[in-house]
Amino acid sequence: MVRLPGRTGTRSTSRPRGQRLEQTPGPARRARERAERSRAADGRSTGVRAALRGRTVAGQVFALQVVIVLLLVLAAVGALVLQVQHDSTEEARNRSLAVAETFANAPGTRAALAAPDPTAVLQPRAEAARMAAHVDFIVVMNTDGIRYTHPIPNRIGKKFVGTIEPAVRGGTVVEEIHGTIGELVQAVVPVKAPDGTVVGLVSAGITTQSVGGLAERQLPVVLGAAAAGLALATAGTALVSRRLRRQTHGLGPGEMTRMYEHHDAVLHSVREGVIIVGDDGELLLANDEAHRLLDLPPDAEKRRVPDLGLAPDIADLLASGRVATDEVHLVGDRLLAINQRPTDLEGGPSGSVATLRDSTELRALSGRAEVARERLSLLYDAGMGVGTTLDVTRTAEELAQVAVPRFADFVTVDLYDAVLRGEDPHPGDALRRTAYGGIRDDAPLYPLGRQIRFVPSSPQADSLRTRRPVLEPRLEAAPGWLAQDPERTGQVVQYGIHSLITVPVRAGSVVLGLVNFWRSEKAEPFDAEELALAEELVARAAVSIDNARRYTREHGMAVTLQRSLLPRSLPEQSALDIAYRYLPAQAGVGGDWFDVLPLSGARVALVVGDVVGHGLHAAATMGRLRTAVHNFSALDLPPDELLGLLDELVGRIDQDETDDGSGAPVIGATCLYAIYDPVSRRCAMARAGHPPPAVIRPGGEVVFADVPAGPPLGLGGLPFETVELEIAEGSRLVLYTDGLVEDRERDIDTGLEELRDALATAGESPEETCQAVLDTRQPFRPGDDIALLVARTRALGGDRVAEWDVPADPAAVADVRAAVGRRLAEWRLEELTFTTELILSELVTNAIRYGSTPIQVRVLRERALICEVFDSSSTSPHLRYATTTDEGGRGLFLVAQLAERWGTRYTPTGKVIWAEQPLP
């Protein structure tokens, strides 16, 4: 119960819940208000008198203040006198020393001491400095103490009165003496030469009287302040008395004591710990809840916080007094949230107050929040780490790596074989174990690559059938799963795997396989929340697996298309022994191709090309370019002319697809075209932006042919250049695409050097060379297509070649027929004598009649019998049908009927008309 001023009774501090206390207006309330106003008016008139009479606490305080003020005034006067004396002496010492040092170090002082008459120079300066510095004297003397200057001139030349020995030794002397002018302080300082030698002394002195007089000036101020203090004390006491009555609402000491008791009861009954710590780290107050939460000893108050045996972090926080807001600390088995604030923020006493709230119940909630955070982190990492490649198997392996050990101890991924091939799966087919991840490698689960058929009672079969995830919390009590493979499932349970979640890998309405999550380390089985997490994890991975499956299908189609466009077998020819390799890129099929084209005269053309880019468009463009090369090579064009026509074709393709807008333009294509002649052993080459070919000589030396690098196909504007090389029999020509020598990790120069080293150690056959190059240079996952063509040269010997020069005389035709007949007899080809003589007769006759000299005939015995007639004319004959009345025009018709193939080949100096007959 609290007694309020102006009230005749007591009032309970409790009230019904939900009600507000309101004063009802009435006579009693109005009477109380009038009494309070009267007391306030009386207080204003009697407050000062009551305070002065000392009958109240305020009056007693006033009397005490008067005594204190008087004592303070007496103490201040005494201290002032002593302080003035001390300050006067200290001021005299400082001023005399400063003046002496300043004059001693002044410019010209040391030089004046060395002058013939130091007094004449120094006396005026010393007097001027003395008056400016307000000292009594400045005396300059030699090291023996003989004065050069003095305020009284008749004392110049006499002995200085004072101690100078320390100054002669380089020190400083400050002393108090009683001189002829009274009590004074004088300082003696040396004047030093640059080498440190003392060459003279300077003394300055001042009487303490000169710096005194402060007490006389300050004493009236002190007395006036004392009088003002008494007046202020009187007024302040009255104001304090009045203010206390107003702030306490007229409460007396007893009533305030009871109020304190109520506050103390509230403080110790609340369910929140309260601790007040002084600025020196002493515990001033701790309520009952704080004692309970911190397990404080009964005598904790008035002891320092570090001595209470608290945990180091709690003790450091309470002793530091720093601001803390909901800091969580573990104390025993309790989790405390601590708030701390300083108590002197608004003029209060120094120290800090801390409140402690038991938040142990929030610990479980924070634990669940941490679990949720870890699961979100797992899903995020799965989104970033699964699906980094477009490989189905690698994507499944990434899923297993992400889930172990953060979610499960073992993870297995089983997919349909059709998915691995990029095809649509067929329900009911067996699954294949594609990926495995675990904290150990010795788990008795099905191994990688194992084809699995799940029994209908197994959770895996149930998941495939319902397309929903299935949870088996206790495997040892799951008869459907145990029936899958009793021997193996028993080993799994014995191994310690006790819980399973199986989730179907769904891509829309298609099920691609299963993911199994196994637990062995934690004793708790998987729960429903973890089932939802597993479903979300697999759902994210399923998108990547399906993308990889679709890419595998598209990649397979592109590879099939590209391989169908490449030569399936090499044509028969005798000029070169050839081996080749083609490797498609893992990231997408490119446009690399190669070809071997037999030409007339036993020659063979080799071509290697590369269309920049990947995918079906690059493969289709490659097929168009390969077809064009086939057609252009049938014209027996030199390499530079063929590349020029190919360049125009690529430009037209780009223009057509750009105008159409339905396809992508060819952003770049390169090509190398070479023609090898086994008769002359010469090889003509030209390249359009392609890497240079390598030549392995019979001795094993590897060189890169110096073929001018023309621009890539499609740029136009610059001609190509053909280079002819003479190649020894048994040499190997190596043609390749840039995927063999260049990638993101190395430039082409490094790749060419590595290729040179691989070719230098390769075997002699083309097959051995191809294999050695790929074993050394092939990356694990090539980023670009690789096409490699190795051709070992042969030479057509002189015993298989016959040549004749023919004069421009029709009679020479008979000689040619006779010579050819004899050579065919030597070659045992008598069966071809008639047709060969007829063919040569017509060709030589045409050359004599319509061509120009010189005229030459060459017959080659290779895989066919080849007849060639050369003349220097560039006019080409045309096959036509002669009418019945024509006397000529049937020669080429007869040649076309008798020969298997025939044609015209242009040379820089003319043309060659050739015809081939199969050997019997």
pLDDT tens digits, residue range 657-683? 655 555 555 567 899 999 999 999 999
**Residue 688 and residue 430: Cα distance in Å, rounded?**
51
Res 364: pLDDT: 61
Other beta carbons less than 10 A from residue 816's beta carbon:
21
Going 883 to 886 to 888 to 889, the CA torsion angle's sign is: negative
Res 3: pLDDT: 32
Res 498: pLDDT: 93
Q: Does residue 646 register a pLDDT over 70?
A: yes
Range list of β-strands (E), 261-401: 273-278, 283-286, 324-331, 334-342, 351-358
Average pLDDT over residues 817-829: 90
CB burial class (10 A; 0-12, 13-18, 19+) of residue 112?
Answer: buried
Least confident of 38-42, 706-710, 768-772, 865-869: 38-42
**Residue 470 and residue 441: Cα distance in Å, rounded?**
25
Res 215: pLDDT: 53
Q: Which is nearest to 668 in space by CA: 656, 686, 685, 651?
A: 651
Cis peptide upstream of residue 782 (ω within 30 degrees of 0): no
Average pLDDT over residues 336-351: 81
Band of residue 702 on the pLDDT scale cut at 50, 70, 90? very high
Res 170: pLDDT: 85
Better-predicted residue by pLDDT, 40 or 354: 354
Res 615: pLDDT: 65
Q: Does residue 62 register a pLDDT over 80?
A: no
Average pLDDT over residues 810-823: 89
Q: Which is nearest to 296 in space by CA: 308, 278, 283?
A: 308
Res 19: pLDDT: 37
Average pLDDT over residues 242-251: 68
Res 149: pLDDT: 92
Residue 731 near residue 696, CB atoms below 8 Å? yes
Q: Does residue 217 register a pLDDT over 70?
A: no
Better-predicted residue by pLDDT, 875 or 339: 339
Q: What is the pLDDT of residues 222-238, one digit of tens each?
A: 677 777 777 777 777 77
Q: Does residue 513 register a pLDDT over 90?
A: yes
Band of residue 248 on the pLDDT scale cut at 50, 70, 90? low
Q: Which is nearest to 917 in space by CA: 902, 903, 904, 906?
A: 902
Q: What is the pLDDT of residues 560-594, one digit of tens each?
A: 776 776 777 788 888 899 999 888 776 656 678 89
Sheet holding 576-583, edge to edge: 576-583, 786-793, 732-736, 694-696, 702-704
Res 249: pLDDT: 62
Q: Which is nearest to 507 in space by CA: 472, 553, 473?
A: 553
Band of residue 907 on the pLDDT scale cut at 50, 70, 90? confident
Res 92: pLDDT: 81
Nearby residues of 586 by Cβ (< 8 Å), 6 or more positions away: 391, 781, 782, 783
Band of residue 30 on the pLDDT scale cut at 50, 70, 90? very low
| Residues paired with 514 in a beta bridge | 414, 504
| Gyration radius from the chain CA atoms | 58
**Residue 56 and residue 5: Cα distance in Å, rounded?**
17
Band of residue 10 on the pLDDT scale cut at 50, 70, 90? very low
Q: Does residue 363 register a pLDDT over 80?
A: no
**Residue 234 and residue 58: Cα distance in Å, rounded?**
10
Provide the 3-class DSSP secondary structure of residue 548: helix
Range list of β-strands (E), 759-815: 786-793, 801-806
**Residue 674 and residue 640: Cα distance in Å, rounded?**
10
The CA distances from residue 870 to 561, 816, 873, 896, in Å, are 43, 14, 9, 18
Question: What is the dihedral angle through the alpha carbons of 860, 861, 866, 872, rounded to the nearest 10 degrees?
Answer: 0
Q: What is the DSSP secondary-structure string of 765-834?
A: SHHHHHHHHHHHH--SS-SS-EEEEEEEE----GGGEEEEEE-S-TTHHHHHHHHHHHHHHHTT-GGGHH
Res 24: pLDDT: 37
User: For residue 568, what is the DSSP state?
Assistant: S
Least confident of 152-161, 459-468, 495-504: 152-161
Q: Does residue 72 register a pLDDT over 70?
A: yes
Q: Does residue 301 register a pLDDT over 90?
A: no
* Helix 748-760, helix 766-777: angle, nearest 10: 140
Q: Does residue 906 register a pLDDT over 80?
A: yes
Least confident of 107-116, 139-148, 299-308, 876-885: 876-885
Q: What is the pLDDT of residues 754-764, one digit of tens each?
A: 889 899 988 88
Least confident of 59-68, 110-119, 354-363, 413-422: 59-68
| Residues paired with 707 in a beta bridge | none
The token pair at 132 is 């400016």
Res 660: pLDDT: 55
Res 470: pLDDT: 94
Q: Does residue 775 register a pLDDT over 60?
A: yes
The token pair at 121 is 């120079």
Average pLDDT over residues 371-387: 84
Nearby residues of 623 by Cβ (< 8 Å), 6 or more positions away: 561, 565, 593
Q: Does residue 468 register a pLDDT over 90?
A: yes
CB burial class (10 A; 0-12, 13-18, 19+) of residue 770?
Answer: buried
Res 9: pLDDT: 36
Q: Which is nearest to 784 in space by CA: 617, 577, 588, 593?
A: 588
**Residue 542 and residue 544: Cα distance in Å, rounded?**
5
The CA distances from residue 780 to 559, 585, 592, 756, 774, in Å, are 18, 11, 19, 20, 11
Q: Does residue 889 register a pLDDT over 60?
A: no
**Residue 679 and residue 870: Cα distance in Å, rounded?**
15
Percentage of residues in the chain with pLDDT exceeding 70? Answer: 84
Q: What is the pLDDT of residues 403-447, one digit of tens each?
A: 998 899 999 999 999 999 888 898 888 999 999 999 998 999 999
Phi and psi at 9, nearest 5°, equal -135, -160
**Residue 878 and residue 397: Cα distance in Å, rounded?**
68
Residue 52 near residue 62, CB atoms below 8 Å? yes
Other beta carbons less than 10 A from residue 364's beta carbon:
10
Q: Does residue 31 register a pLDDT over 50?
A: no
User: For residue 308, what is the DSSP state?
Assistant: G
Most confident of 29-43, 108-122, 340-354: 108-122
Average pLDDT over residues 612-617: 70
Least confident of 11-15, 274-278, 888-892: 11-15
The token pair at 405 is 């050990």
Q: Does residue 250 register a pLDDT over 80?
A: no
Q: Does residue 527 register a pLDDT over 80?
A: yes
Strands 702-704 and 786-793: unpaired
Least confident of 262-276, 290-304, 420-434, 483-497: 262-276
Residue 270 near residue 291, CB atoms below 8 Å? no
Q: What is the mean pLDDT of the chain?
A: 82
Q: Does residue 5 register a pLDDT over 50?
A: no
The token pair at 163 is 């101690």
Band of residue 783 on the pLDDT scale cut at 50, 70, 90? low
The CA distances from residue 672 to 333, 501, 658, 665, 865, in Å, are 80, 58, 26, 21, 30
Nearby residues of 826 by Cβ (< 8 Å), 6 or more positions away: none
Better-predicted residue by pLDDT, 212 or 61: 61
